[in-house]
Structure 1
Amino acid sequence: MDKTNRVKQILMGMRTVLKDKPLTVKMRVGIDDGKPLVGRLLPALTAARIDALAIHGRTRQQRYTKVADWSYISQVVEMARPHNLPIIGNGDMLSFEDYELRKTETNVDSIMVARGALIKPWIFTEIKERRHWDISSSERLEMLKSYVRYGLEHFGSDTAGVERTRRFLLEWLSFLCRYVPVGILEQLPPKLNDRPPAYFGRDDLETLMASPSVTDWIKLSEMLLGPVPEGFVFLPKHKSNSYENPVSQG
């Protein structure tokens, strides 16, 4: 992002290859905190005739330690108006209130939902229907069953297919465990950066699903796909989502 000419060259090359097909770009606010770069890159983006720009309201340095900077996204919306460039805002979407607030405050053309959809895939229903869904553990288990069924249909039901499906399932569970049921929240709406203390769910399955332990994610996978193979180890790609070291099952 700090090499404007390089960005322009890449995008111009993509535009040449894509011809009239849509070309969209997604980027963070910048590299270092306090040094936003998107505004500086707008001339290069518009020169390449991109069709839309999605902005994740964080810097690379920041990672996920602070809330997304929607005020800067709003500034980019204004800067992009003379270029008729649609802006898509992204960051900390976990409820329909988040969606409506950011859409109204910033005048972005659209909102991108990212981690929020991994933590609660039903967020799109909540946005559409403008409500909080107190989804039960049994309903979530049915979603997991569907996910596993789709995985086995796609990858195959042999040993390799089962284990590949398990890997994808465990990656998802490393996010899904962060969902706190609406029925036990002290206040609404929930926030993506909240880190609630450990809690007991309303049933044993809900408690198991809330566990940040790799061991418990593996238990859930075994409920759906059978025992893991001897020597199995899982380390989530997003290591910060797991509060325990990788577990070997044998």
Structure 2
Amino acid sequence: MSPISARDVRFRRMSLQIICTGLLSWLLLGVYRSIIVDPQTTLGGLVASIPKGLASSYYDLVVIASMTVTALILLFLLKASRLGSAVVFFLFYLAVLVSLSWGFANINLVKMLGEPFTFQWLVYGDFLQNADARNAMGDALNFREVAILSVSIALVLVLGSAAARLWLRLGVIGHRVLLGALVLGVAGALVGTGYHVHAEALPAAKIDNPIVHFVESALLSPTPVVLT
């Protein structure tokens, strides 16, 4: 058996970190989603609502899975380039940070606006220049909640890295079994969450991924409805 090259080791390490971080990011978004679809006032109630939040996070899972698969494909295509691999790795983590931050802010934005933040609200708020818009964003992310968000994101990054290191220690068979189980698990989650959101007829405002919702609002209906 030929020795594994440094390039292959780097690719495997980065790809496993991306996979583990992507999975944990979806789980965290599921926790955020539980607060939107099933608001609770106690810690016990919040914990009990997490399964419902995960079941309702179909669109979040689609986004995270798409980001992860895209990053893995690009990482594979550019694995011969150390710089290219580093750029893909950085962009993936940047996308994760944006997704988790926006997902967290979406909790309060849905409460205040009745829907995820849209391009129309951005225009109505004079691109966040007027006082009402700044106050709304301040309410969506105050100091306490920024601290909670920072800790939760840090946990995702640290646990994702730790899980990847543990995965690297597995042998060939263990690696393939775990990867196969993960692929099947994600596929099952996509089917299950997709069925749940349609069977329960959950309102789009509570289950839409906030980033996709914003982009769609800009592309499909750029005119501010609130001004017409």
**TM-score, normalised to structure 2's length?**
0.25
**Higher fraction of helix:** 2
**TM-score, normalised to structure 1's length?**
0.24
**Structure whose CA Rg is larger:** 1
Greater relative contact order (Cα < 8 A, sep 6+): 2
